[in-house]
Chains A and B, each alone.
Chain A
Amino acid sequence: MNPLAGLLSERLSKAQVVDGFETEPWAVCGRLPQAVVFPESEAQVAEILSLSSEEGWRCVPAGRGSWLHGGQPPQAVDVLLSAKRMSDISEYEPADMFISAQAGAGLDALERRTNEEGQWLAVDPPGGERGTLGAMLAVGTAGPLQAGFGSPRDQVLGATIVSGDGQVLNLGGKVVKNVAGFDLLKLVAGSWGTLGMITSVTMRLYPVPATDRTLLFKESEAADGANLACRLAQTPFPLAAVELLVPGDGESGGGAPSPLVAVRILESTDAVDEAERVVSECAGMPPVQRLGGEQSAAIFDNVRAMEDGAELVLRLSLLPTRLPELIETTSQLRGLYDPSEGWGMRLAGHAQTGVLRVMIAVVGRSDDWVDRAKTTLGVLRRSLEAEGGSLVVSQGPPEIVGAVSAWGALGPAALFTSGIQAALDPAGILNRGTSPQ
């Protein structure tokens, strides 16, 4: 064992620390940690983080490791802490409609357990069910259901984190309405492990809706699809999701890819029938397909999995009515990849929130590929920011993310961001995605 791993295994146990080639699956944006540890309790997490703060070891908290290739690359990784072995469901009272579990609990396990009681976690972040509860909150990304149910930050009731300096902080609670003090829990959602390691989470649950139906509408051009999605998003009915899906260049059998608009309705059966009528009327066409129950859920599982196998994933955003413009801007990205490689470029737009996910299967690597990506993404980011929008590089080759930065400009708010980080991680050991530039 290397000296650092050796010191850690003295504190924990040998079986809880790995180093050398065993750290390979845990590379963070291409950087190998010196040691990977698997704490089994909050107290152990606190011990490792306070020791690391004293020693100046740079740490990255993780769950099962699904998101290690995403976000801003850290300056260095000495210790990676995985919550994998902290996966118990600690409290589940169906009548109170919340579930508390350790951070390493899988979203799949929580889904199974809550479904047994006719309840569910109404979150659908990218990446499907293979991630952990803690990672879902740390990344904080919402999926298509954001419009109907809110993002993870709206549905988390409480969390325990161990801050960078090893303090165990119980934030929030178990009830929806809670204003006892400053809402530090909000800071945890989307913090990418830069404030501390999440050790347990309490989430709000919803009753499984009586009917789950997805209507698929087809257009021939991406621009028409975007216009249709915008129109449907303005239906005054409670639609759970309105998603524009543009398949990759390599997924359309030669011709231009035909976009689909998927409208998901989660209501009582009578209400779903009525919503279907109104939505179809608004679309001016009948759906090409109606999917019920498991099939409806399955198509949205596919939407979550769309980033799988993508080398570069971007999130572009503007106000929802400007989704057609966002679609148009993606033509600027054509120079970054060869459409004949893999499936090319896929698009998925949340029509109610104005977020467009761009997925590129394989980034072209001619001589000046990094510079070209830097210029293209920089120009696009600046033009979106000038219009009140943003561009985030959710994942990509470390060379590109390093060159353009995952996050966009924060302006004067950056002052608060760095202050908050220093408040909870005074030694600056949690350096992943540090202070968006």
Chain B
Amino acid sequence: MENILPEPLTKELRDRLRGVVGDAWVIVDADRLLAYESDGLTAYRRTPRAVVLPRNTDEVSRVLGILSQEAVPVVPRGAGTGLSGGALADGDAVVVGTARMTDLLELDPENRLARVQPGMINAHLTTAAEPFGLYYAPDPSSQSACTLGGNVAENSGGPHCLKYGVTSRYVTGLKVVTYDGKVVDLGGFGREPGGYDLVGVFVGSEGCFGIATEIEVRLLPKSEAVCTLLAIFDRLGDAGSAVTEIMAEGLMPAALEIIDGPTIRAVEASVFAAGFPTDAEAALVVEFDGIEAGLAADVERAVACCREAGAREVRTADSTEERLAFWQGRKKAFGAMGQIASDLLVQDATVPRSQLTGVLGRISEIGARHDLTIANVFHAGDGNLHPNLLFDRSDAEELARVERASKEIMAVCVEAGGTITGEHGVGLDKRHYMSLVHGPEELDAMRRIKAVFDPHGRMNPGKVLPDPPESAGVAV
């Protein structure tokens, strides 16, 4: 996408915003704005008109009040680790970032609750809860950088969602600011007054409904014990069968992750080398957690499933170091791929688990047909695929092939009974795929609900929903 420089803010508007947040926190210099021109999906770049960094709910409310009076569109932004272009400031939008809203507002260990500001980093919450034997369950791979506000916007997942569920299961209450600056409290633990689940519909709304300025989440007690095993396969399909076997056994692993051959070789060639055999075609990481007394038996049954499915080698982690090494191969996969190709498109889609093997075969066929390297790392337990398409951005023809292959992969996943995104969100990237999974009636219902929260359509415009049919073909 071409990066057109936007029109700067008027001095008057700039001064009013500075009056609220302080001079240092309204960014308008072209070179400093560069840091905000894209998010984790680097294929799209767009420089915002300005970036405003408020400190608390009151400042967010006043900033939005000013911007809405001037009809300036607003794009909320956390750490900018999103992978769907959702934090990109399209058109004449101003970014409102949560980088200074990082406080832990309350930790209530007895009720296993925390209240945080949206800019708090996901992993920092677990660090704060640890002395009380608690942790925050959703663990996106970017958890050391991504913010809880971003997690709320995207309804983020992570490897351990197989057993524990995604972000929406943990968010119990929100304080949100709407585009016109109104502050509204939604939900709250220990409270069920009736009415619609507004917290539930706000989570995953990708910044299109408003900005969450306080987030109340449930924490979980840390498991007494964790046991991780690594199984190596000569065929990717066999790893998929092992996953089916494990689930059919009635086991409930905390995580079931597959790393395919091309990814293993990328990881092993990088500084993140985890000691996986480079001639393997799949590595399966299976983790169990819970009460120590029951774990060994579960692990044994899972090992048997892997062997039956044709694993050539199964290792069990005997120490924390070994366990972390198994995870290294999984969690650093994206970083490692950055070392073998200049650009990487991390795709994201979900299919019913039983369709995994067939869909992976078709993805590999799509890659071959478009002459692209596709490396897969994915949450096999819940059918959440991440095909990674490697390319070089400066090669326009290759980029076009990446786009065609992406669209074909989405269609294959939808055809298999799945969906176009499992945890990265629609953002800017996938709004044109929305009609693959939703009919005009559903898209229209989503538009109507969006209008309830944002009647003027100026909160994160141009995201999630495709343009309505009547304006098709008209430039936005």
Contacts and interface: CB of A to CB of B under 8 A. Distances in A.
Contact of B168 (A183, A190, A236, A268): A183
A140 B430 CA distance: 31
A406 B449 contact: no
A417 B187 CA distance: 12
Given A175-B419, A186-B168, A424-B448, A236 B222 contact: yes
A432 B350 CA distance: 36
A260 interface: no
A436 interface: yes
Contacts of A189: 197, 200
A212 to B, nearest CB: 13
A179 B250 contact: no
Interface string A204-231: 0011101000000000000000000000
Contacts of B438: 170, 180-181
Contacts of A267: 290-291, 294
A235 to B, nearest CB: 8
Given A179-B204, A319-B189, A208 B184 contact: no
Contacts of B383: 96, 175-177
A3 interface: no
Interface stretch (A270-278, A334-342, A365-373): A270-278
A236 B418 CA distance: 36
Contacts of B294: 267-272, 274
Nearest to A140: B197
A234 interface: yes
Interface residues of A, number: 86
Given A176-B161, A273-B293, A408-B193, A182 B201 contact: yes
Contacts of B200: 153, 183, 186-187, 189
A274 B248 CA distance: 25
Contact of A93 (B184, B195, B352, B419): B352
A207 B190 CA distance: 29
A253 interface: no
A318 B108 CA distance: 14
A388 B185 CA distance: 11
Interface in B399-430: 417-426, 430
A355 interface: yes
Interface in B162-194: 162, 165-166, 168-169, 182-186, 188-194
Interface of B: 108, 110-111, 113, 133, 154-155, 157, 161-162, 165-166, 168-169, 182-186, 188-198, 200-201, 203-205, 208, 221-224, 244, 247-248, 250-252, 290-295, 297-298, 350-354, 379, 382-384, 417-426, 430, 434, 437-439, 441-446, 448-453, 464-465
Interface of A: 93-98, 118, 140, 150, 153-154, 163, 167-171, 173-184, 186-187, 189-191, 195, 206-208, 210, 234, 236-238, 267-275, 315, 317-322, 353-355, 385, 388-390, 392, 406-417, 419-420, 423-424, 433, 435-436
